[in-house]
Chain A
Protein backbone atom coordinates (compact mmCIF):
# COMPACT_ATOMS: atom_id res chain seq x y z
CA UNK A 1 0.00 0.00 0.00
CA UNK A 2 2.68 2.41 1.15
CA UNK A 3 4.93 1.37 -1.71
CA UNK A 4 2.19 1.92 -4.24
CA UNK A 5 1.45 5.39 -2.96
CA UNK A 6 5.08 6.39 -3.29
CA UNK A 7 5.53 4.86 -6.71
CA UNK A 8 2.51 6.56 -8.21
CA UNK A 9 3.82 10.01 -7.42
CA UNK A 10 5.41 12.00 -10.24
CA UNK A 11 9.03 11.83 -9.04
CA UNK A 12 9.87 9.32 -11.74
CA UNK A 13 9.19 11.94 -14.39
CA UNK A 14 11.63 14.38 -12.79
CA UNK A 15 14.32 11.71 -12.87
CA UNK A 16 13.94 10.95 -16.56
CA UNK A 17 13.14 14.52 -17.68
CA UNK A 18 16.72 15.70 -18.41
CA UNK A 19 17.33 12.62 -20.53
CA UNK A 20 14.20 13.16 -22.58
CA UNK A 21 14.70 16.91 -23.01
CA UNK A 22 18.19 16.28 -24.38
CA UNK A 23 16.88 13.35 -26.39
CA UNK A 24 14.16 15.44 -28.08
CA UNK A 25 16.45 18.42 -28.73
CA UNK A 26 19.59 16.59 -29.89
CA UNK A 27 18.35 13.13 -30.89
CA UNK A 28 14.79 12.70 -32.09
CA UNK A 29 14.32 16.34 -33.14
CA UNK A 30 17.23 16.36 -35.61
CA UNK A 31 16.17 12.95 -36.96
CA UNK A 32 12.64 14.20 -37.75
CA UNK A 33 13.99 17.53 -39.00
CA UNK A 34 16.37 15.65 -41.30
CA UNK A 35 13.38 13.77 -42.67
CA UNK A 36 11.75 17.10 -43.54
CA UNK A 37 15.02 18.42 -45.02
CA UNK A 38 15.29 15.32 -47.22
CA UNK A 39 12.28 16.72 -49.13
CA UNK A 40 13.89 20.12 -49.63
CA UNK A 41 16.55 21.83 -51.67
CA UNK A 42 18.95 23.49 -49.24
CA UNK A 43 22.48 24.62 -50.02
CA UNK A 44 23.21 26.09 -46.58
CA UNK A 45 22.92 29.71 -47.73
CA UNK A 46 19.28 29.81 -48.84
CA UNK A 47 16.16 28.83 -46.87
CA UNK A 48 15.21 25.17 -47.51
CA UNK A 49 12.58 25.02 -50.27
CA UNK A 50 10.19 22.07 -50.49
CA UNK A 51 10.74 19.96 -53.60
CA UNK A 52 8.56 16.89 -52.90
CA UNK A 53 10.05 13.54 -53.85
CA UNK A 54 12.64 15.01 -56.22
CA UNK A 55 15.58 14.09 -53.95
CA UNK A 56 14.33 10.52 -53.55
CA UNK A 57 13.87 10.12 -57.32
CA UNK A 58 17.41 11.39 -57.75
CA UNK A 59 18.65 8.95 -55.10
CA UNK A 60 17.10 5.94 -56.86
CA UNK A 61 18.84 6.93 -60.10
CA UNK A 62 22.17 7.77 -58.42
CA UNK A 63 24.78 5.19 -59.40
CA UNK A 64 27.20 6.56 -56.80
CA UNK A 65 24.72 5.86 -53.98
CA UNK A 66 24.34 2.23 -55.05
CA UNK A 67 28.06 1.91 -55.52
CA UNK A 68 28.61 3.19 -51.96
CA UNK A 69 26.19 0.53 -50.66
CA UNK A 70 28.12 -2.18 -52.50
CA UNK A 71 31.48 -0.84 -51.27
CA UNK A 72 30.27 -0.72 -47.67
CA UNK A 73 28.92 -4.28 -47.77
CA UNK A 74 32.10 -5.62 -49.41
CA UNK A 75 34.34 -3.86 -46.86
CA UNK A 76 32.12 -5.07 -44.02
CA UNK A 77 32.28 -8.72 -45.13
CA UNK A 78 36.06 -8.55 -45.66
CA UNK A 79 36.45 -7.18 -42.17
CA UNK A 80 33.87 -9.12 -40.16
CA UNK A 81 34.83 -12.67 -41.19
CA UNK A 82 38.53 -12.54 -40.28
CA UNK A 83 37.72 -10.28 -37.32
CA UNK A 84 35.34 -12.73 -35.64
CA UNK A 85 37.50 -15.74 -36.55
CA UNK A 86 40.63 -14.20 -35.04
CA UNK A 87 38.74 -12.91 -31.99
CA UNK A 88 37.17 -16.30 -31.28
CA UNK A 89 40.43 -18.20 -31.83
CA UNK A 90 42.36 -15.89 -29.53
CA UNK A 91 39.61 -16.01 -26.90
CA UNK A 92 39.58 -19.83 -26.94
CA UNK A 93 43.38 -20.00 -26.67
CA UNK A 94 43.67 -17.31 -23.98
CA UNK A 95 40.94 -19.01 -21.97
CA UNK A 96 43.21 -22.06 -21.55
CA UNK A 97 44.65 -22.36 -18.07
CA UNK A 98 48.24 -23.00 -19.13
CA UNK A 99 48.72 -19.59 -20.80
CA UNK A 100 51.14 -17.44 -18.81
CA UNK A 101 51.08 -13.64 -18.95
CA UNK A 102 47.46 -13.75 -20.01
CA UNK A 103 46.84 -10.18 -18.96
CA UNK A 104 49.67 -8.88 -21.15
CA UNK A 105 48.13 -10.60 -24.20
CA UNK A 106 44.69 -9.18 -23.38
CA UNK A 107 46.22 -5.71 -23.16
CA UNK A 108 48.20 -5.97 -26.41
CA UNK A 109 45.30 -7.30 -28.47
CA UNK A 110 42.82 -4.83 -27.00
CA UNK A 111 45.09 -1.80 -27.40
CA UNK A 112 44.19 -0.93 -31.05
CA UNK A 113 40.55 -0.63 -29.98
CA UNK A 114 41.19 2.47 -27.86
CA UNK A 115 43.15 4.26 -30.61
CA UNK A 116 41.12 6.90 -32.44
CA UNK A 117 39.81 5.57 -35.80
CA UNK A 118 41.16 8.69 -37.52
CA UNK A 119 44.64 7.91 -36.21
CA UNK A 120 44.40 4.28 -37.34
CA UNK A 121 43.19 5.42 -40.76
CA UNK A 122 46.18 7.75 -41.19
CA UNK A 123 48.50 5.01 -39.86
CA UNK A 124 47.34 2.54 -42.48
CA UNK A 125 47.45 5.17 -45.22
CA UNK A 126 51.07 5.91 -44.26
CA UNK A 127 52.04 2.23 -44.01
CA UNK A 128 50.56 1.41 -47.40
CA UNK A 129 51.81 4.55 -49.15
CA UNK A 130 53.34 3.19 -52.35
CA UNK A 131 56.47 5.38 -52.31
CA UNK A 132 57.29 5.82 -48.63
CA UNK A 133 55.17 3.21 -46.83
CA UNK A 134 56.81 0.68 -44.54
CA UNK A 135 54.91 -2.27 -46.08
CA UNK A 136 56.48 -1.80 -49.50
CA UNK A 137 59.88 -1.12 -47.91
CA UNK A 138 59.56 -4.33 -45.92
CA UNK A 139 58.52 -6.40 -48.94
CA UNK A 140 61.42 -4.92 -50.95
CA UNK A 141 63.89 -5.59 -48.13
CA UNK A 142 62.99 -9.30 -47.95
CA UNK A 143 63.01 -9.52 -51.74
CA UNK A 144 59.31 -10.39 -52.14
CA UNK A 145 58.78 -7.60 -54.68
CA UNK A 146 61.13 -5.64 -56.94
CA UNK A 147 58.75 -2.77 -57.81
CA UNK A 148 56.63 -0.98 -55.16
CA UNK A 149 52.96 -1.95 -55.17
CA UNK A 150 50.49 0.92 -55.62
CA UNK A 151 48.14 -0.45 -52.94
CA UNK A 152 45.62 2.34 -52.70
CA UNK A 153 45.24 2.63 -56.46
CA UNK A 154 43.87 -0.89 -56.81
CA UNK A 155 40.12 -1.46 -56.46
CA UNK A 156 40.29 -4.63 -54.39
CA UNK A 157 43.54 -3.99 -52.53
CA UNK A 158 42.25 -0.62 -51.30
CA UNK A 159 39.02 -2.21 -50.09
CA UNK A 160 40.97 -4.93 -48.30
CA UNK A 161 43.13 -2.29 -46.62
CA UNK A 162 40.06 -0.40 -45.37
CA UNK A 163 38.62 -3.71 -44.14
CA UNK A 164 42.00 -4.37 -42.51
CA UNK A 165 41.77 -1.14 -40.49
CA UNK A 166 38.27 -2.08 -39.26
CA UNK A 167 39.50 -5.53 -38.34
CA UNK A 168 42.60 -4.22 -36.57
CA UNK A 169 40.46 -1.79 -34.60
CA UNK A 170 37.80 -4.23 -33.43
CA UNK A 171 39.15 -7.76 -33.10
CA UNK A 172 40.52 -7.08 -29.61
CA UNK A 173 37.20 -5.79 -28.31
CA UNK A 174 35.35 -8.80 -29.71
CA UNK A 175 37.99 -11.04 -28.17
CA UNK A 176 37.25 -9.55 -24.72
CA UNK A 177 33.50 -9.98 -25.26
CA UNK A 178 34.05 -13.64 -26.19
CA UNK A 179 36.36 -14.15 -23.22
CA UNK A 180 33.70 -12.72 -20.91
CA UNK A 181 31.22 -15.16 -22.49
CA UNK A 182 33.62 -18.08 -22.00
CA UNK A 183 34.17 -17.20 -18.35
CA UNK A 184 30.41 -17.25 -17.80
CA UNK A 185 30.25 -20.95 -18.81
CA UNK A 186 30.14 -23.05 -15.59
CA UNK A 187 33.34 -24.98 -14.89
CA UNK A 188 31.57 -28.19 -13.86
CA UNK A 189 30.38 -28.69 -17.45
CA UNK A 190 34.01 -28.96 -18.57
CA UNK A 191 34.89 -31.15 -15.62
CA UNK A 192 32.04 -33.51 -16.45
CA UNK A 193 33.18 -33.67 -20.07
CA UNK A 194 36.76 -34.34 -18.99
CA UNK A 195 35.67 -37.21 -16.76
CA UNK A 196 33.61 -38.65 -19.63
CA UNK A 197 36.83 -38.65 -21.68
CA UNK A 198 35.81 -36.00 -24.23
CA UNK A 199 38.65 -34.58 -26.33
CA UNK A 200 39.41 -30.85 -26.43
CA UNK A 201 37.87 -30.62 -29.88
CA UNK A 202 34.67 -32.40 -28.81
CA UNK A 203 34.35 -30.14 -25.79
CA UNK A 204 34.72 -27.06 -27.98
CA UNK A 205 32.06 -28.22 -30.49
CA UNK A 206 29.57 -29.70 -28.02
CA UNK A 207 29.81 -27.37 -25.03
CA UNK A 208 31.64 -24.15 -25.77
CA UNK A 209 30.14 -23.17 -29.12
CA UNK A 210 26.45 -23.83 -28.26
CA UNK A 211 26.76 -21.89 -25.01
CA UNK A 212 28.61 -19.07 -26.74
CA UNK A 213 25.95 -18.72 -29.39
CA UNK A 214 24.00 -15.83 -27.79
CA UNK A 215 27.26 -13.88 -27.44
CA UNK A 216 28.23 -14.58 -31.06
CA UNK A 217 24.80 -13.49 -32.28
CA UNK A 218 24.89 -10.31 -30.22
CA UNK A 219 28.31 -9.48 -31.67
CA UNK A 220 27.10 -10.15 -35.21
CA UNK A 221 24.05 -7.89 -34.87
CA UNK A 222 25.95 -4.98 -33.33
CA UNK A 223 28.64 -5.35 -35.98
CA UNK A 224 26.04 -5.01 -38.75
CA UNK A 225 24.75 -1.73 -37.34
CA UNK A 226 28.24 -0.40 -36.56
CA UNK A 227 30.07 -1.84 -39.55
CA UNK A 228 27.74 -0.32 -42.15
CA UNK A 229 28.31 3.15 -40.68
CA UNK A 230 32.09 3.14 -41.15
CA UNK A 231 33.36 6.60 -41.96
CA UNK A 232 36.39 7.97 -40.10
CA UNK A 233 39.10 5.49 -41.06
CA UNK A 234 38.04 5.09 -44.73
CA UNK A 235 37.90 8.90 -45.06
CA UNK A 236 41.60 9.04 -44.12
CA UNK A 237 42.51 6.32 -46.60
CA UNK A 238 40.60 8.02 -49.39
CA UNK A 239 37.95 7.15 -51.93
CA UNK A 240 40.09 4.67 -53.83
CA UNK A 241 40.21 4.40 -57.63
CA UNK A 242 36.75 5.08 -59.14
CA UNK A 243 35.28 5.65 -55.66
CA UNK A 244 35.82 1.98 -54.82
CA UNK A 245 36.21 2.63 -51.08
CA UNK A 246 33.57 5.36 -50.81
CA UNK A 247 31.28 4.18 -47.98
CA UNK A 248 27.63 5.18 -47.49
CA UNK A 249 28.39 7.70 -44.76
CA UNK A 250 31.37 9.12 -46.71
CA UNK A 251 28.95 9.68 -49.58
CA UNK A 252 26.56 11.46 -47.20
CA UNK A 253 29.39 13.60 -45.84
CA UNK A 254 30.63 14.61 -49.29
CA UNK A 255 27.18 15.48 -50.60
CA UNK A 256 26.30 17.66 -47.61
CA UNK A 257 29.51 19.13 -46.25
CA UNK A 258 31.75 19.22 -49.34
CA UNK A 259 29.22 19.97 -52.10
CA UNK A 260 26.82 21.89 -49.78
CA UNK A 261 23.86 19.87 -51.07
CA UNK A 262 22.36 19.46 -47.60
CA UNK A 263 18.84 18.49 -48.71
CA UNK A 264 20.16 15.66 -50.82
CA UNK A 265 22.56 14.72 -48.00
CA UNK A 266 19.56 14.19 -45.71
CA UNK A 267 18.01 11.98 -48.41
CA UNK A 268 21.20 9.89 -48.57
CA UNK A 269 21.08 9.57 -44.75
CA UNK A 270 17.58 8.09 -44.96
CA UNK A 271 18.63 5.85 -47.85
CA UNK A 272 21.54 4.55 -45.76
CA UNK A 273 19.18 4.05 -42.82
CA UNK A 274 16.90 1.85 -44.95
CA UNK A 275 19.90 -0.22 -46.08
CA UNK A 276 21.09 -0.70 -42.48
CA UNK A 277 17.55 -1.60 -41.33
CA UNK A 278 17.23 -4.22 -44.10
CA UNK A 279 20.65 -5.66 -43.25
CA UNK A 280 19.67 -5.90 -39.58
CA UNK A 281 16.40 -7.67 -40.42
CA UNK A 282 18.27 -10.11 -42.69
CA UNK A 283 20.66 -10.87 -39.82
CA UNK A 284 17.68 -11.72 -37.63
CA UNK A 285 16.39 -14.04 -40.37
CA UNK A 286 19.56 -16.19 -40.39
CA UNK A 287 18.39 -19.61 -39.17
CA UNK A 288 18.83 -19.95 -35.44
CA UNK A 289 19.49 -16.27 -34.68
CA UNK A 290 16.04 -15.38 -33.39
CA UNK A 291 15.37 -18.65 -31.59
CA UNK A 292 18.64 -18.58 -29.68
CA UNK A 293 18.30 -14.90 -28.86
CA UNK A 294 15.11 -15.63 -26.97
CA UNK A 295 16.58 -18.57 -25.10
Chain B
Protein backbone atom coordinates (compact mmCIF):
# COMPACT_ATOMS: atom_id res chain seq x y z
CA UNK B 1 0.00 0.00 0.00
CA UNK B 2 1.16 3.51 -0.76
CA UNK B 3 1.59 5.66 2.34
CA UNK B 4 1.36 8.89 0.37
CA UNK B 5 0.00 9.55 -3.08
CA UNK B 6 0.31 13.18 -4.13
CA UNK B 7 -1.28 13.90 -7.47
CA UNK B 8 -0.39 17.11 -9.26
CA UNK B 9 -0.57 19.34 -6.18
CA UNK B 10 -0.04 23.08 -6.49
CA UNK B 11 0.02 25.89 -3.95
CA UNK B 12 0.41 29.62 -4.41
CA UNK B 13 0.88 32.39 -1.86
CA UNK B 14 -0.28 35.59 -3.47
CA UNK B 15 1.60 35.80 -6.73
CA UNK B 16 4.23 33.27 -5.71
CA UNK B 17 3.76 29.75 -6.99
CA UNK B 18 5.38 27.73 -4.20
CA UNK B 19 4.55 24.25 -5.47
CA UNK B 20 3.76 23.57 -9.09
CA UNK B 21 1.90 20.40 -10.05
CA UNK B 22 3.99 18.06 -7.94
CA UNK B 23 3.23 14.35 -7.98
CA UNK B 24 4.97 11.65 -6.02
CA UNK B 25 4.32 8.51 -4.03
CA UNK B 26 5.81 7.06 -0.91
CA UNK B 27 5.58 3.32 -0.44
CA UNK B 28 5.36 1.41 2.79
CA UNK B 29 8.69 0.48 4.33
CA UNK B 30 10.50 3.22 2.45
CA UNK B 31 12.57 6.24 3.41
CA UNK B 32 12.09 9.01 0.89
CA UNK B 33 14.58 11.85 0.86
CA UNK B 34 13.05 15.21 0.01
CA UNK B 35 15.91 17.47 -0.97
CA UNK B 36 16.22 20.82 -2.62
CA UNK B 37 17.58 24.31 -2.09
CA UNK B 38 15.93 26.85 0.21
CA UNK B 39 12.64 28.03 -1.23
CA UNK B 40 12.26 24.95 -3.42
CA UNK B 41 8.81 24.21 -1.99
CA UNK B 42 9.74 21.32 0.30
CA UNK B 43 8.12 22.67 3.45
CA UNK B 44 4.97 23.73 1.59
CA UNK B 45 4.76 20.22 0.11
CA UNK B 46 5.16 18.69 3.56
CA UNK B 47 2.52 21.00 5.02
CA UNK B 48 0.11 20.00 2.28
CA UNK B 49 0.73 16.32 2.99
CA UNK B 50 0.02 17.04 6.67
CA UNK B 51 -3.17 18.91 5.78
CA UNK B 52 -1.84 22.09 7.37
CA UNK B 53 -2.15 23.77 3.99
CA UNK B 54 -4.86 22.84 1.54
CA UNK B 55 -3.58 22.50 -2.04
CA UNK B 56 -4.99 24.97 -4.55
CA UNK B 57 -5.29 22.06 -6.94
CA UNK B 58 -4.49 18.36 -7.05
CA UNK B 59 -5.08 15.80 -4.34
CA UNK B 60 -3.23 14.00 -1.60
CA UNK B 61 -4.14 10.67 -0.10
CA UNK B 62 -2.45 9.27 2.99
CA UNK B 63 -2.82 5.56 3.60
CA UNK B 64 -5.31 5.56 0.78
CA UNK B 65 -7.62 8.16 2.29
CA UNK B 66 -7.79 11.93 2.51
CA UNK B 67 -6.15 13.33 5.62
CA UNK B 68 -8.52 13.42 8.57
CA UNK B 69 -8.33 14.27 12.25
CA UNK B 70 -8.21 10.55 13.05
CA UNK B 71 -5.47 9.97 10.50
CA UNK B 72 -3.37 12.75 12.00
CA UNK B 73 -2.85 10.51 15.04
CA UNK B 74 -1.00 8.05 12.79
CA UNK B 75 1.42 10.67 11.55
CA UNK B 76 4.49 12.06 13.29
CA UNK B 77 6.08 15.35 12.31
CA UNK B 78 9.36 16.99 13.16
CA UNK B 79 9.13 20.54 11.82
CA UNK B 80 12.18 22.38 10.60
CA UNK B 81 11.46 25.23 12.97
CA UNK B 82 11.33 23.37 16.25
CA UNK B 83 8.19 23.82 18.24
CA UNK B 84 7.99 23.19 21.97
CA UNK B 85 6.42 25.17 24.78
CA UNK B 86 9.35 26.95 26.36
CA UNK B 87 7.96 27.85 29.77
CA UNK B 88 6.82 24.45 30.96
CA UNK B 89 8.70 21.31 31.95
CA UNK B 90 9.93 18.88 29.34
CA UNK B 91 7.68 16.12 30.62
CA UNK B 92 4.55 18.29 30.71
CA UNK B 93 5.22 19.48 27.18
CA UNK B 94 5.74 15.94 25.90
CA UNK B 95 2.71 14.59 27.77
CA UNK B 96 0.48 17.24 26.19
CA UNK B 97 1.83 16.74 22.66
CA UNK B 98 1.42 12.97 23.08
CA UNK B 99 -2.10 13.29 24.47
CA UNK B 100 -3.35 15.32 21.51
CA UNK B 101 -2.07 12.50 19.32
CA UNK B 102 -4.76 10.38 20.92
CA UNK B 103 -2.53 8.39 23.27
CA UNK B 104 -3.96 6.96 26.46
CA UNK B 105 -2.52 8.25 29.74
CA UNK B 106 -0.90 4.95 30.75
CA UNK B 107 0.71 4.49 27.40
CA UNK B 108 2.07 8.03 27.47
CA UNK B 109 3.74 7.40 30.83
CA UNK B 110 5.18 4.10 29.68
CA UNK B 111 6.58 5.44 26.42
CA UNK B 112 7.75 8.68 28.02
CA UNK B 113 9.95 6.74 30.43
CA UNK B 114 11.33 4.62 27.63
CA UNK B 115 12.08 7.56 25.31
CA UNK B 116 13.53 9.74 28.07
CA UNK B 117 15.89 6.87 28.84
CA UNK B 118 16.71 6.30 25.20
CA UNK B 119 17.45 9.98 24.55
CA UNK B 120 19.19 10.42 27.92
CA UNK B 121 16.81 13.16 29.02
CA UNK B 122 15.73 11.67 32.36
CA UNK B 123 17.72 14.24 34.30
CA UNK B 124 16.11 17.09 32.39
CA UNK B 125 12.49 15.99 32.53
CA UNK B 126 11.53 18.50 35.23
CA UNK B 127 13.45 21.36 33.66
CA UNK B 128 11.71 23.99 31.61
CA UNK B 129 12.24 23.45 27.90
CA UNK B 130 13.93 26.84 27.55
CA UNK B 131 16.59 25.72 30.02
CA UNK B 132 17.75 22.95 27.69
CA UNK B 133 20.51 23.28 25.12
CA UNK B 134 19.56 23.29 21.45
CA UNK B 135 20.66 19.69 21.10
CA UNK B 136 18.61 18.60 24.11
CA UNK B 137 15.58 20.46 22.78
CA UNK B 138 16.05 18.68 19.49
CA UNK B 139 16.00 15.35 21.32
CA UNK B 140 12.81 16.35 23.15
CA UNK B 141 11.31 17.32 19.81
CA UNK B 142 12.22 13.92 18.40
CA UNK B 143 10.46 12.24 21.32
CA UNK B 144 7.35 14.31 20.55
CA UNK B 145 7.56 13.09 16.96
CA UNK B 146 7.95 9.40 17.73
CA UNK B 147 6.26 8.84 21.08
CA UNK B 148 2.92 7.80 19.57
CA UNK B 149 4.73 5.37 17.24
CA UNK B 150 3.31 6.82 14.06
CA UNK B 151 2.99 4.83 10.86
CA UNK B 152 4.13 7.77 8.77
CA UNK B 153 6.86 10.13 9.94
CA UNK B 154 7.87 13.34 8.23
CA UNK B 155 11.13 14.71 9.55
CA UNK B 156 12.48 18.05 8.44
CA UNK B 157 16.20 18.51 9.11
CA UNK B 158 16.34 16.00 11.97
CA UNK B 159 20.10 16.26 12.41
CA UNK B 160 20.39 20.00 12.94
CA UNK B 161 21.91 20.99 16.28
CA UNK B 162 22.98 17.41 17.01
CA UNK B 163 26.53 16.33 17.77
CA UNK B 164 27.97 13.28 15.95
CA UNK B 165 26.98 10.90 18.75
CA UNK B 166 23.39 12.06 18.74
CA UNK B 167 23.33 12.22 14.95
CA UNK B 168 24.23 8.56 14.94
CA UNK B 169 21.52 7.88 17.50
CA UNK B 170 18.90 9.56 15.30
CA UNK B 171 20.10 7.62 12.27
CA UNK B 172 19.76 4.42 14.25
CA UNK B 173 16.30 5.51 15.36
CA UNK B 174 15.21 6.15 11.78
CA UNK B 175 16.54 2.75 10.74
CA UNK B 176 14.77 1.09 13.66
CA UNK B 177 11.53 2.83 12.73
CA UNK B 178 11.93 1.74 9.14
CA UNK B 179 12.52 -1.83 10.28
CA UNK B 180 9.35 -1.53 12.38
CA UNK B 181 7.48 -0.70 9.19
CA UNK B 182 7.25 3.06 9.62
CA UNK B 183 7.21 5.05 6.41
CA UNK B 184 9.59 8.00 6.59
CA UNK B 185 9.88 11.18 4.57
CA UNK B 186 13.20 12.86 5.31
CA UNK B 187 13.79 16.43 4.27
CA UNK B 188 17.38 17.52 4.67
CA UNK B 189 20.17 19.66 3.32
CA UNK B 190 22.76 17.17 4.52
CA UNK B 191 23.24 15.07 1.41
CA UNK B 192 25.51 12.57 3.09
CA UNK B 193 22.73 11.76 5.58
CA UNK B 194 20.21 11.40 2.76
CA UNK B 195 22.62 9.13 0.89
CA UNK B 196 23.10 7.02 3.94
CA UNK B 197 19.44 6.65 4.87
CA UNK B 198 17.18 7.10 1.88
CA UNK B 199 15.91 4.50 -0.51
CA UNK B 200 14.65 7.09 -2.92
CA UNK B 201 15.12 10.80 -3.37
CA UNK B 202 12.90 13.58 -4.58
CA UNK B 203 14.81 16.67 -5.60
CA UNK B 204 12.71 19.83 -5.76
CA UNK B 205 13.69 23.14 -7.26
CA UNK B 206 11.53 26.22 -7.79
CA UNK B 207 8.37 24.36 -6.82
CA UNK B 208 8.87 21.44 -9.17
CA UNK B 209 10.29 17.97 -8.89
CA UNK B 210 13.43 17.97 -10.97
CA UNK B 211 14.80 14.58 -10.07
CA UNK B 212 13.24 11.49 -8.60
CA UNK B 213 14.08 7.86 -8.14
CA UNK B 214 16.07 5.26 -6.20
CA UNK B 215 19.43 6.58 -5.12
CA UNK B 216 21.50 4.05 -7.09
CA UNK B 217 19.55 4.75 -10.23
CA UNK B 218 19.95 8.49 -9.83
CA UNK B 219 23.66 8.12 -9.29
CA UNK B 220 24.04 5.89 -12.30
CA UNK B 221 22.06 8.39 -14.31
CA UNK B 222 24.55 11.07 -13.35
CA UNK B 223 27.61 8.85 -13.42
CA UNK B 224 30.32 10.01 -15.77
CA UNK B 225 33.02 7.93 -17.41
CA UNK B 226 35.48 8.48 -14.61
CA UNK B 227 37.64 6.20 -12.51
CA UNK B 228 39.33 6.87 -9.22
CA UNK B 229 42.64 5.10 -8.71
CA UNK B 230 45.27 5.16 -6.00
CA UNK B 231 48.71 3.93 -6.73
CA UNK B 232 52.13 4.34 -5.07
CA UNK B 233 53.62 4.90 -8.53
CA UNK B 234 52.69 7.53 -11.12
CA UNK B 235 49.86 6.64 -13.47
CA UNK B 236 51.07 6.58 -17.08
CA UNK B 237 49.30 9.36 -18.99
CA UNK B 238 49.35 7.42 -22.24
CA UNK B 239 47.23 4.51 -21.08
CA UNK B 240 44.77 3.47 -23.77
CA UNK B 241 41.23 4.81 -23.27
CA UNK B 242 42.29 7.64 -20.93
CA UNK B 243 41.42 11.15 -22.02
CA UNK B 244 42.68 12.98 -18.95
CA UNK B 245 44.55 12.13 -15.81
CA UNK B 246 43.75 14.47 -12.90
CA UNK B 247 45.71 14.08 -9.67
CA UNK B 248 43.55 14.79 -6.63
CA UNK B 249 44.38 14.59 -2.93
CA UNK B 250 44.85 10.90 -2.22
CA UNK B 251 44.01 9.54 -5.61
CA UNK B 252 43.98 10.23 -9.32
CA UNK B 253 40.84 10.78 -11.34
CA UNK B 254 40.95 9.26 -14.80
CA UNK B 255 38.56 10.71 -17.39
CA UNK B 256 37.82 8.03 -19.96
CA UNK B 257 37.50 8.39 -23.69
CA UNK B 258 33.97 7.75 -25.02
CA UNK B 259 34.84 4.34 -26.39
CA UNK B 260 36.62 3.15 -23.23
CA UNK B 261 35.19 1.53 -20.11
CA UNK B 262 36.43 0.62 -16.66
CA UNK B 263 37.15 -2.99 -17.57
CA UNK B 264 39.37 -2.13 -20.51
CA UNK B 265 41.26 0.50 -18.53
CA UNK B 266 41.83 -1.96 -15.65
CA UNK B 267 43.15 -4.53 -18.09
CA UNK B 268 45.48 -1.98 -19.64
CA UNK B 269 46.80 -0.95 -16.24
CA UNK B 270 47.50 -4.53 -15.21
CA UNK B 271 49.19 -5.15 -18.51
CA UNK B 272 51.43 -2.10 -17.97
CA UNK B 273 52.22 -3.33 -14.46
CA UNK B 274 50.68 -0.39 -12.63
CA UNK B 275 50.56 -1.17 -8.93
CA UNK B 276 47.02 -0.47 -7.67
CA UNK B 277 45.82 0.21 -4.12
CA UNK B 278 42.36 1.43 -5.16
CA UNK B 279 40.38 1.21 -8.37
CA UNK B 280 36.75 2.30 -8.46
CA UNK B 281 34.28 3.68 -10.89
CA UNK B 282 33.59 7.25 -9.82
CA UNK B 283 29.95 7.69 -8.87
CA UNK B 284 28.83 11.24 -8.27
CA UNK B 285 27.85 12.09 -4.73
CA UNK B 286 24.36 13.35 -4.02
CA UNK B 287 25.98 16.67 -3.22
CA UNK B 288 27.43 16.85 -6.72
CA UNK B 289 24.17 15.77 -8.32
CA UNK B 290 22.30 18.36 -6.24
CA UNK B 291 24.64 21.17 -7.28
CA UNK B 292 24.58 20.03 -10.88
CA UNK B 293 20.80 19.89 -11.05
CA UNK B 294 20.09 23.02 -9.08
CA UNK B 295 22.76 25.24 -10.60
CA UNK B 296 22.92 23.57 -13.96
CA UNK B 297 26.70 23.18 -13.56
CA UNK B 298 28.67 19.97 -13.68
CA UNK B 299 32.03 19.37 -12.02
CA UNK B 300 34.69 21.23 -13.83
CA UNK B 301 37.01 18.68 -15.40
Q: Do A and B come from one complex?
A: no
